[in-house]
Amino acid sequence: MCGFYKFAYQARWRENAPPTVPDRITSSVTSTPFPRTSVLTPKPAPALEPALASLELNIMQAYKRQSKAKSGSNLTERERRGLKMLVCLRKELRYNISDKGGDFVVLTQTLDKKLRREHLSDTTIYGRSSDDRSPLYIVGLRTVL
């Protein structure tokens, strides 16, 4: 509806504005250093008001019809069955996004746990984030600072 109100606002201004040269309009607007702080609403245009009211009513009715209408699925029967199967198996499967390619990945829970253990046990990639010696380092830093 915001688009309609913007359209009606512009139409009312165009209807009420005297005929002018577009260059003069743009130069006078750009030469103003500070724009107005208030919003001016155009005067109602008697020739436009019935058409705008009718257009607003028709748009509202179309919105109402579309909100009540049930949209059809864009999935094929085979895709729908597959999706239903994935939902039923959500406790056994792990759905994830690949970190390398951004692809959608479906793994069994056991395979996922096995892969995670292998990755986390690799000491060349992962290390402990907190060390037992860390309080000593902090004390040493405090004395230096």
Is 98 in contact with 40 (CB distance < 8 Å)?
Answer: no
Whether the predicted model's global pTM rises above the 0.85 cut: no
Give the HSE-up count for residue 34: Cα atoms under 13 Å, Cβ half-sphere.
3
Q: In the prediction, which pLDDT does 78 show?
A: 95
Average pLDDT across each block of 10 residues of the chain; the chain has 145 residues. List them in order: 81 76 54 62 84 90 88 89 90 84 87 85 69 55 47
Q: In the prediction, which pLDDT does 9 show?
A: 82
Q: In the prediction, which pLDDT does 145 show?
A: 43
3-class SS of residue 97: strand
Q: Where are the alpha helices (DSSP H) in the chain?
A: 2-16, 22-31, 49-68, 77-88, 109-121, 134-144
